[in-house]
Amino acid sequence: MASEIHVGDVGTKLIFTIQDGSNPVDLSGYSSIVLIFVKPDKTELSKAVQFETDGTDGVVYYVSQSGDFSVAGQYKLQAVASTGSSVFSSSVVIIPVSCNIY
């Protein structure tokens, strides 16, 4: 992840590991894996993620797009994988998004 994220940033790579306890979850067969954003204004976004490798290591990533970081403040992010009756989530990450000077 970037060292500092600003309102309007595009192209920031966000990497998450989904684990069961201390073991990575093999995500290669999961039908739905998303990154949930909760913005400071309580707006929620759900974005599809990609595997960093082949999914067996539990690592997924998302590259920010226009509109993702639209307001300054604390964002909560969590990757969630589900298939059938199994649901696994990453830790919740809180990311500060700063204002720009212009």
pLDDT in tens, 38-70: 999 999 999 999 999 999 999 999 999 999 999
Range of the domain at 45: 5-98
For residues 12 and 2, the answer to whether their CB atoms sit within 8 Å is yes
Distance from CA of residue 16 to its chain's centroid?
6
Residue in 13, 8, 94 with CA at minimum distance from that of residue 49: 13
CATH of the domain at 25: 2.60.40.3350
Q: At residue 43, what are phi and psi to the nearest 5 degrees?
A: -65, 140
pLDDT at position 12: 95
Number of independent structural domains in the chain: 1
Question: In this structure, which amino acid lies at residue 15?
Answer: I
Neighbours of 49 (CB within 10 A): 21
For residues 77 and 14, the answer to whether their CB atoms sit within 8 Å is yes
